[in-house]
């Protein structure tokens, strides 16, 4: 059985480290990247996993990343995260 794959995107290093440790402890393959452009470089129509991304990041934000990912593969599962408390983020 193959392990689930996660591509985790966040500009904050301490969150990438914590997420990596958590996913690995849950027996998942995880790759962490610091920005949306790096995530797009790793995604293709054949990526078999889930994308977990922060919404607010410098450069391309998580919403723009979501739009590009859905154009690439509309069926790819994407989980959006934010540390802000306002509903107006979305």
- Interval 21-71: pLDDT, tens: 999 999 999 999 999 999 999 998 889 999 999 999 999 999 999 999 999
Q: Say how far residue 21 (Cα) sits from the centre of its chain.
A: 15
For residues 76-80, give the mean pLDDT. 97
pLDDT tops 70 at residue 74: yes
- pLDDT score at 85: 63
SS3 assignment, position 62? helix
Residue 26: closest CA among 54, 49, 6 = 6
pLDDT at residue 87, rounded to an integer? 56
Give me the pLDDT at residue 1, please.
Answer: 67
pLDDT band at 89 (very low <50, low <70, confident <90, very high): low
Lowest mean pLDDT across 10-19, 23-32, 77-86: 77-86
Q: For the beta carbon of residue 87, count every other beta carbon within 10 angstroms.
A: 6
């Amino acid at each position: 059985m193959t392990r689930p794959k996660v591509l985790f995107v966040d500009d904050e290093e301490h969150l990438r480290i914590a997420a990596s440790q958590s996913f690995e402890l849950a027996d998942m393959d995880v790759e962490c990247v610091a920005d949306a452009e790096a995530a797009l470089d790793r995604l293709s129509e054949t990526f078999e996993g889930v994308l977990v991304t922060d919404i607010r990041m410098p450069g391309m934000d998580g919403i723009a990343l979501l739009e590009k990912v859905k154009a690439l593969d509309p069926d790819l599962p994407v989980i959006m995260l934010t540390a802000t408390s306002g509903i107006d983020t979305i």
